[in-house]
Amino acid sequence: MKTVGVIVNLEKPGTRELLEVLGEKASKAGLTLIYDETCSEALAQPREECDPFFQKLDAVLTLGGDGTLLGAVRRMQAHPVPILGVNFGKLGFLTSITQDRIDEALHALVTGNVLTSKRRLIECRYRNPGEEFHSVEALNDVVLSWGTSSHIATLEVRVNHQTVTTYTCDGLIVATPTGSTGHSLSAGGPILAPETNALILNPICPHAMTARPVVMNGETELTIQLAEHSKSLVLACDGQPVADMIPGGEITTRSTDHLIELLQLPDYDYWEVLRDKLNWRGSSIG
């Protein structure tokens, strides 16, 4: 019998109701469920610590939106397991399985009749002046933006240690193919097929009409440094703030060999999801 961990965003409408009947559905399907601490509190179950929780699992089932799935990826750390996401959010590029197909999803986890897409993580190393480097990994993107000032940011960019340009902008996005349909897309970036070995460098609101998103080889090492006269910015990975970056601070990003397996039902079609989520209808003739 397979063991599946359950991670849920109880703020999403409908998740609590499904959680209450999920155990019975899973038992009938032939699955053993282990709940994370949020589920455990909602169901009055014993808590599971993070590392032992993931070490016990054959797969993870997330109930929420893409943010819930990304949160699960962050928590896995050294113990990655395949993830199947059920969408209770809005767009749901990563969690495309709808709530009414939960029984199919459970059956697919039992039989192994699922599609697997292996997605590469990106590593971000960062430090402020006088500090040592810290490291974090992300599935979607690394973003330098926001800050407490409305002033402009000045960011110096190097590719494989070679100077490329200095952006005057509101921030920068470094996105993976998985993250190309996220923040980068909203900032005018291209969509990359998931299997593409590439990264996107995308300036946010650049103060130059010639500044455009750049697609580069996935093995590229990007270095972004805040100029001495730049405003401070917030570094976020997969939408979660990581550090406040001050003038002189720098980050480096590059793809890793670490892979996350995203699971989908057998009839999943990436391009159909894009057509649906982005409302691609094409043009009619006549």
Q: Which domains does the chain have, with CATH numbers?
A: 2-114+265-277 (3.40.50.10330), 122-256 (2.60.200.30)
Closest CA to 176 of 144, 215, 204: 215
Q: Average pLDDT of 80-94? A: 89
Give the pLDDT of residue 57. Answer: 93
- The confidence band for 285, taking pLDDT boundaries of 50, 70 and 90, is low
Against a cut of 0.85, is the pTM above it?
Answer: yes
Of the candidates 36, 51, 58, 66, the residue annotated as catalytic is 66
Q: 113-135: per-residue pLDDT in tens? A: 999 999 999 999 999 999 999 99
Q: How far apart are CA 102 and CA 42, in angstroms?
A: 20
Give the pLDDT of residue 147. Answer: 75
269 annotated active-site: no
- The confidence band for 47, taking pLDDT boundaries of 50, 70 and 90, is low
Q: What's the Cα-to-Cα distance from 149 to each of 122, 232, 245, rounded to whole Å?
A: 28, 8, 13
Q: Residue 78's Cα: distance from chain center in Å?
A: 17
Q: Phi, psi (5° rounding) for residue 139?
A: -95, -40
- The confidence band for 40, taking pLDDT boundaries of 50, 70 and 90, is low
Q: Are 138 and 120 in contact (CB under 8 A)?
A: no
- The confidence band for 43, taking pLDDT boundaries of 50, 70 and 90, is low
Closest CA to 262 of 40, 73, 34, 71: 73
